[in-house]
Amino acid sequence: RRVCAESFLVTFRMASLVGRTDLKVLVLGSGGREHALCWKIKQSSMLDKLYCLPGNAGIAEVAECVGGIGVADVPAVVDWCKANQIDFVVVGPEDPLTHGIVDALEAEKIASFGPNKAGAELEGSKAFMKDILHKYGVPTATYIRTKSAEEAKEYIKKNNGPIVVKASGLCAGKGVLMCQNVEEGLKAIDEIMVDKIFKASGDEVVVEEFLTGEEASYFALCDGKTAVGFGGAQDHKLSGDGDTGMNTGGMGAYSPAPILTKEMEEKIMKEVMIPTVEGMAKEGCPFKGVLFAGLMIKDGQIKTLEHNVRFGDPECQVVMTRLKSDLLKTLIFAAEGRFSELPPLEWDDRTALLVVMAAKGYPGSYPKNTPINKVEDANKLADTNVFHAGTARDGSQLVSTGGRVLGVTAVGKDAKEAQAAAYKAVDTIEWEQGFCRRDIGFRAVARLDG
């Protein structure tokens, strides 16, 4: 605890960056989330030079990409920042955070946005996160945490119905198994704890109540003392239309989500976000950065499914599309613990909707280095922006390098208009080896159609 508190205090010994217009900024990561962050930071009046490590083909159009260093290679990243006189670092993915990148940067007097290693435990350990929620009265599913396969199995048998089994450690978004009956639950324990499909991340499990309702995502920016709402979204996790198929990192998203009314957002802040941030402070571990909550909403009541300690992907892309305020300035105020001085955030009231174009076969095995054409034509359409995830250049040819490859984003007066514009852009792009869901935003559109 003492280490955590001391790390936090380093921030206040650094010279403030507020008011400067010559900042050199590094964004860590290479996905669609990082493209959206770079795209938005590029618009800041405080920015002089923007870098992204390692970046991708789309990010290369707005930032200088840095190769040859892994995002979680903390000493190498810090050395590069010192050599290039970086003023501020924005951390995209969770791996560098759980490896202590923020602690290492702050030890060298380099300001950054994101939680320190102790704060990142909210995502690094699902068991720790559940205990924090329980201790500070944040509504969540009933659960046990255990390192004993036998104890986990006994709990599953006792509950005798649908149940959720989670590997406690980081599993790149794949560590949650939804089990429809006791048999599936017991099999999940064997896979995680005996067969070690998630390696050491499955040494401990969380077994919890199976919740039903409507899922939504919500972000809050935290400055160590308090939290400010930063918008919500709904995403689509399953690979097939009608929410069928396999679980993925996310096949699309839209913001705002109709279920997240002004009253519901206030309830989320009061019942989930602020108690979590205040609880972390009481634990001697003030949380700075973005706190992401995965929520289940039913009959006006909230249950917290998970916390992440970074912007969700693809939710980040639609939230950044709607943000009108200066993102870099906002993140710096958060990092310096100065939310009381921050003007209210401004948002575009229209709907932003993103469709993920993925490689055929995803989330299973898929081909790489397949050619993609006419992305520039899609980008020229009104109120449209194509965020790159798994892309690279082979000479001048854009090629795929990952599973989720493009995030085709459009804005409209409502979900129906945004959906039509996004799919018009999708259909402009030529990619024989790609696929997408054709129903992103269907819940919001159904609400409009009555």
* Rounded Cα gap, residues 404 and 388, in angstroms: 9
How far is 440 from 445, CA to CA, in rounded Å?
Answer: 9
Task: Please tell me the distance from the alpha carbon of residue 105 to that of residue 123, in angstroms, as a whole number.
Answer: 20
Which pLDDT score is estimated for 4? Answer: 52
The rounded distance, in Å, linking the Cα atoms of 235 and 437 is 12
What residue spans of 15-91 are helical by DSSP H? 32-41, 74-83
* Residues 6+ away with beta carbon under 8 Å from 74: 96, 99, 100, 101, 104
- How many residues belong to the chain? 450
Q: Give the integer Cα–Cα distance in Å for 433 and 355.
A: 16
Count the Cβ atoms, other than its own, within 10 Å of residue 318. Answer: 30
3-state class (DSSP) for residue 445: helix
What token pair was written down for 146?
């255990």
Quote the crossing angle between the two packed helices 182-189 and 149-159, to the nearest 10°: 170
Contacts of 278 (CB under 8 A, 6+ apart): 136, 226
Instruction: Report the pLDDT value the prediction gives residue 6, as an integer from 0 to 100.
Output: 43
Burial of 140 (0-12, 13-18, 19+ CB in 10 A): buried
CA distances (Å), 312 to each of 39, 219, 259, 269, 308, in order?
16, 9, 18, 18, 8
450/447 Cα distance (integer angstroms): 5
- The structure tokens listed for 191 are 């896979």
Query: So what's the pLDDT on residue 376?
Result: 98
The two structure tokens encoding residue 131? 């205990």
Q: What is the pLDDT of residue 225?
A: 86
Strands (E), 335-403: 351-359, 371-372, 384-388, 391-394, 397-400
Residue stretches of the chain with pLDDT short of 50: 1-3, 5-12
pLDDT of residue 9: 44
Q: Return d(Cα 96, Cα 79) in angstroms, integer.
A: 15
- pTM, to two decimals: 0.94
Other Cβ atoms closer than 10 A to 299: 5
Cβ pair 62, 50 in contact under 8 A: yes
- Whether the Cβ atoms of residue 303 and residue 211 lie closer than 8 Å to each other: yes
Q: Which is nearest to 273 in space by CA: 323, 313, 218?
A: 218
Burial of 300 (0-12, 13-18, 19+ CB in 10 A): exposed
Q: How far apart are CA 244 and CA 256, in angstroms?
A: 23
Cβ neighbours of 81 (radius 10 Å): 23
